[in-house]
Structure 1
């Protein structure tokens, strides 16, 4: 269902007043709720597609069903909303001392209540400790208030970086959207316990063939705002920023400062280059796929639609009638709903070359403990099948035909790829290109090597092809490596640069990009070879001057250079 309409401002205000059905609350009433509970939710009439897009650029939209929309106001934007004079209904939270909180770790691991913060930390350690052959606990980073953002790696060799597709599943980037938090802890236990188990079926296959990373709680400060217990969680982080509007977006004229949780997540995802990911939310019941920020289709739009359809259709086989039926019977292209900027889904898909969808699990943002079992029963099969999408398409290694060294190559489908939909092999040479059945011509390119075109045939009965690619060196002339400093060319550029460090700073290197004020913008590892430029794709960055640093790992020398971006990529 497309919600396109244009309503003049006067009619918009009248419509809002009619749906709200009462006089709008006083500004002080809204401020008092924000002061007491950390945020305020206000319901407005759905104002039409264009007006909704404008509102979503100013305020955080937590739900929208085509009749009404709910905005979530933090201490940062409450005064701006009040000044706008938008008719609304204030939603006052119910009084409580806790929210379906477990009294012990054992009770929490029956998955029908919520753990305290200490219980959550214990549960994550417990899962990793109980199945060490299939599970390892890691840390993405730390929140503003110092809480660990935990993640479990589940694979048949969790201590190794194997040539396997990597999948990322995370939840609760909005701290008051709770269903996915418990669902993913339970999924982690289910997968870890299935590793190597006879009769475990699909779950065991996933553990054997993939590297699965599960992050149940991306915003711990928001969820545990009150301390150790879930009482009045908030959407934003402790600085009042909506973390799912905080990822780099070059088309935002005045982007908000990247928060610590955002920077840590970007660094974590850039280092691993996930082939497939999903971000769990609540506030609706729908599978949302790219793009959120553009009304044009992603190059893989048909594929995104198909995997979303498979998720929702599997849900419908196991759920009660009426669950996950919003918009197109439970799926939507994000911009058909309403447009947002700075979302993780589009950043991962556009900026990192990944494939991510947003899964909205429950109309109720804070799912009662009594309904958590239903969330599992209705969704866990769909989640397993979603993860299994990473076992389709084309994968393999890209290496130097002479030496066997791994290569970081660009993999592009001519006539198909656009808007950064191409993929890259990682520092180990491994690549994954998720694709539906069909005939595909993939071009492999790497500076210093001849291009190679692979023709792949995928069918519904053979949806995966493994193809190792060996690239031959070419005789192309490149600039001489600098004796010091970092050569950056072409410069200025639209965001696609080549960089060449001195010979002493080659091998495995870390590339870091910062603004002139010192803000970290990008941080990832790659391979630099003597005399061969390294292709850098600074997607997601606005026009301006940036400092590029290259350090040889693990503790080698570092060089710096300047890069000027003059226009956006893929415009």
Structure 2
């Protein structure tokens, strides 16, 4: 984010109890949980067949209608729906500026752990929305799509306890390997469309949605694999096939592996392949073994999306009593990987006159031979590691607006002292609402608008306690934003804060009080700030929230 200088004085260390009484009346209501179901949460004690999975997903969508939308992207060979659960703050509309993320499981029908952990992930996100700050922030800022099973026909054929896949189910009902059936940069595709309806549906979906980040979950060992999956020479093993975003892919794979207790060791210890090891729990796909027609390469080359492939377990279809442990081992990795959709830079490409969105404009990063394109709102999301980048937006029939070149300044720095390419600390995301690249239309030119992303060689990162405090953004906060803000800081500073409600508004919104003190739960003489007693006094609420940021961090 850009450096911002505030005129607020530094907050003194207050000896008194500092109370903030926030009475908010906003048009946007907080997303409220539907009437609580009497059914208990998933016990992780069994696998769901197709009928049970369909029933569960419909039930969850009906229980949480304000943040979910269940749909099918198509059907399998045998007519089973390819269900997708969409989870976001406005699930029935596309929100400009919200990056799209997807998880796809059970592509090979006999690799079943992915199918179950994605069901558990759906339940976890829904049950904890509004309760856990991390989950709420993910859902509010990300357009999440989760497909538990891309190969439901294969799953119905597979057998519990079959670790090697000897009973079948890997391929679809026409006996095609779905992860060898996508268009490939080095191999000719030779399939009939009716043989691979699952792949055709997935390709159409990828092209339509323009996902930013994705992971494809498999089984058979424990490792995170990244593009490319094959090479021009198609050597069986040992040929590193480097993508233009190779460093970024390695970082993304490390995010998943480093949060998995087994994967991060690099020693899966699978019974049949005990000799197999992976440094840091990651591997280049083609270096591991050549896979022409893979889905992760298709996402990257043709779909605007960065995808990795993650192998979750040595046994492809383990006994159901192992599922709780699999969920426990993968939960943090799944969440941490999702959060990476917010690294790098993002913004909008618009016409200078009228501000109309320019769709399918190319976003070009100097030095990285891979371009992305803007979406239907002119929005773009370019995941990047910390550094200095020259970024160009180019589209037919447009040119740079008259005047000086547009310069966008972003600070992209890793949280830790080590460079992000060699560490697991995630890069900071630039401001969510960065200045748009503006271009004026002409009839015949195809020039480009150049922007410089400069962080002055990234100075050494200070320890967290010495970092300069900057407000995240200047904007008005609706009730949901304010609630998320208060929960976030209450959880981050439990020793000096206490958040509670003194009642409800007419429309049943909480009247929150945030206590800031060295003894936050002990009654002392204090100071009250009561903003927005009148509906239009938004400004004071914003100032108070900014002041809270400084007060708590600087104590």
Quickly name the TM-score band, shorter chain normalised: 0.5 to 0.7
TM-score calculated relative to the size of structure 2: 0.62
Mapped contact 2:213–2:306 kept (Cα < 8 A): yes
Instruction: Find out whether 1:138 has 2:105 as its counterpart.
Output: no
Contact between 2:266 and 2:280, CA under 8 Å: does it hold in 1? no
Within 5 Å, which residues of 2 pair with 1:60-459?
A: 109-163=42-96, 164-195=98-129, 197-198=130-131, 200-225=132-157, 232=167, 234-253=169-188, 255-258=190-193, 259-294=196-231, 295-316=240-261, 322-323=267-268, 326-418=277-369, 421-451=370-400, 455=408, 456-459=410-413
Q: Distance in 2 between matches of 1:224 and 1:270?
A: 28
What per-residue deviation string (whole Å, max 9, x for no partner) do you get for residues 114-157 of structure 1?
11221111011111111111111011111111100000000011
Deviation at 1:474, TM superposition (A): 4.3
**8 Å CA contact retained: 2:264, 2:281:** no
- Tell me, yes or no, if the aligned pair for 1:167 and 1:387 is still in contact at 8 Å: yes
* C-alpha distance in 2 between matches for 1:430 and 1:140: 24
Query: Aligned-pair distance for 1:473?
Result: 2.3
Q: CA deviation at 1:365?
A: 0.7
Classify 1:201/1:254 alpha carbon distance in 2 versus 1 (closer, same or farther; 3 Å): closer
Specify which of 452, 469, 488 is matched with residue 436 of structure 2: 469
Deviation string 1:141-196 (CA, Å, 9 cap, x unpaired) is 1111110000000001111201200001010110000001010001011112222x
- Change in 2 beyond 3 A, CA 1:326/1:435: same
What are the ranges of 5 or more consecutive residues in structure 1 without an aligned counterpart?
1-104, 480-571
3-state SS, counterpart of residue 224 of structure 1: helix
- Please give the alpha-carbon distance, in whole angstroms, between the structure 1 residues aligned to 2:41 and 2:154: 20
Is the CA contact 1:177–1:281 (under 8 Å) kept in the aligned structure 2? yes
Shift of 1:108: 9.6
Match of 1:21 in 2: none
**Shift, 1:321, TM fit:** 9.8
RMSD of aligned alpha carbons: 2.9
> Which is richer in strand?
1
Number of residue pairs aligned between Structure 1 and Structure 2 = 371
Residues 138 and 150, structure 1, Cα contact 8 Å, conserved in 2? yes
Classify 1:320/1:424 alpha carbon distance in 2 versus 1 (closer, same or farther; 3 Å).
closer
| Residue 25 (structure 1) aligns with | none
Cα offsets for 1:251-300 (capped at 9, x unmatched):
32353334111111111111101000000000110000111113342122
**C-alpha separation between the residues in 1 aligned to 2:219 and 2:76?**
21
Counterpart contact for 1:223–1:233, Cα < 8 Å: no
Q: Is the 8 A contact 1:168 1:214 kept in 2?
A: yes
Tell me by how many angstroms 1:317 deviates.
Answer: 8.3
Q: Cα 1:233–1:116, aligned 2, differ >3 Å: closer, same or farther?
A: farther
Deviation, structure 1 residue 427: 1.1
Contact 1:108 1:115 in 2 (8 A): no
Distance 1:328 1:318, change over 3 A: closer
Q: Measure, in 1, the Cα distance between the counterparts of 2:58 and 2:242.
A: 41
The secondary structure found in structure 1 opposite 2:46 is coil
Q: Deviations over 1:483-510 (max 9, x none)?
A: xxxxxxxxxxxxxxxxxxxxxxxxxxxx
Contact 1:393/1:458 (<8 A) preserved: yes
Change (3 A) 1:277 1:414: closer
TM-fit CA distance, 1:202: 1.7
Partners of 2:265 and 2:281 within 8 A in 1: no
Counterpart for residue 535 of structure 1: none
Unaligned runs of 5+ in 2: 1-37, 232-239, 270-275, 416-427, 447-555
Quick check: 2:411–2:430 contact (8 Å CA) kept in 1? no
Q: Give the CA deviation at 1:465.
A: 3.4
Distance 1:415 1:406, change over 3 A: closer
**Change in 2 beyond 3 A, CA 1:404/1:322:** same
Q: Per chain length, whose mean CA-contact separation is higher, i.e. which structure has more relative contact order (CA < 8 Å, sep 6+)? A: 2
Alignment partners' CA distance in 2, 1:310 and 1:336: 20
Distance 1:291 1:380 in 2: 26
The answer to whether the 8 Å contact 2:217/2:310 transfers is yes
Query: Deviation at 1:445?
Result: 1.1
